[in-house]
Amino acid sequence: MSAIAEYLGALREDLKQGDYTEHTHWPALKTMLEAVGGDVTATNEPGRMVCGAPDFIVTRQKIPMPRFA
């Protein structure tokens, strides 16, 4: 099964519970981003930075990626 299919399946399972928020879905997003990105790390709620307080940051060798490509 592809990483995206697994991500969508995880979202479906979260939604079945009925008591979810945006944060409920973040573990599935982190797993999917790291699976499709190869050697990247997705960090949920990293510390504040110049741009503010992002929900996620995707890095490669600890260097923030300007876009996920």
Q: Would 21 be classed as within a structural domain?
A: yes
Q: What range does the domain containing 59 cover?
A: 3-64
Nearest to 26 by CA among 11, 13, 40, 36: 11
Q: Would 69 be classed as within a structural domain?
A: no
Q: Which two tokens stand for residue 5?
A: 């299919």
- Reported confidence tier of residue 50, pLDDT bands at 50, 70, 90: confident
| Distance set, CA 54 to CA 18, 31, 47 (Å) | 26, 17, 8
Predicted pLDDT of residue 20 = 87
Q: Would 54 be classed as within a structural domain?
A: yes
> Domain tally for the chain?
1
Q: Would 55 be classed as within a structural domain?
A: yes
- Reported confidence tier of residue 68, pLDDT bands at 50, 70, 90: low
Q: Would 37 be classed as within a structural domain?
A: yes
pTM for this model (two decimals): 0.78
